[in-house]
Amino acid sequence: MIQRIQSIWLFLAALALILMLILPFATTKLGNTGLEQSIYTFGTKVTAFGKTNMNLPLLIANIALAIICFINIFNFRKRSFQKRFAIVSILLIIGFAFWCSVYAKELPGGIEGAHFGAGAYLPAIAILFLVLAIFGINKDERLIRSAERLR
């Protein structure tokens, strides 16, 4: 059922993870040349050359996490399973964010000289949306229990 609030939160979590494909999560300048190297989940990219080095495992993990969050929308009939699936998704996103930070250390000069883009904050936003979805699932369970008591 699309009208349930947890469906909206789960969709927004999936959308935040999809946006990670587009937005860089770290950028640094390459010396005095004026070139910038950006790190995306699909790989590293040097702005002037348009040269991209692919990172396929990170890309697959990002897409898989977005699909997991989206599939969880359709588990609305099994609320306890949906809640456990959201908790597992949170743990996977934490691991994914750690993996992204390890990958960002490959920038020249490390992450000390880098400036973080919007993509660096999207895993935290996705986790926030998943927590809000769990609150919505709990509220839905309380409503169902109270309706069953009235019968």
What is the tens place of the pLDDT at every residue in 8-55? 999 999 999 999 888 888 777 776 676 777 777 877 777 766 667 777
Report the relative pairing of strands 51-54 and 26-30 from DSSP bridges: unpaired
Higher pLDDT, 116 or 95: 95
Does residue 1 carry a pLDDT above 50? no
Determine, yes or no, domain membership for 122: yes
Q: What share of the chain in percent tops pLDDT 90? A: 26
Q: For the chain, give percent helix, strand, coil, nearest 5.
A: 60, 15, 25
Q: Which residues of 101-123 are buried (b: 16+ CB within 10 A; e: fewer)?
A: eebbeebeeebeebeebebbebb
Determine, yes or no, domain membership for 138: yes
Does residue 103 carry a pLDDT above 90? no
Print the domain residue range for 91. Answer: 5-22+56-105+118-150
Determine, yes or no, domain membership for 42: no
Determine, yes or no, domain membership for 110: no
| Number of structural domains in the chain | 1
Whole-number average pLDDT of the chain: 82
Using the Cα atoms of residue 62, residue 64, residue 67 and residue 73 in order, give the sign of their dihedral.
Answer: negative
Q: What share of the chain in percent tops pLDDT 70? A: 87
Determine, yes or no, domain membership for 36: no
Determine, yes or no, domain membership for 48: no
Pull the structure tokens for residue 122: 């999207």
Q: Is 78 helix (H, G, I), strand (E, B) or coil?
A: coil
Determine, yes or no, domain membership for 38: no
CA distance linking residue 126 with residue 132, whole number of Å: 10
Pull the structure tokens for residue 37: 């190297």
Determine, yes or no, domain membership for 79: yes
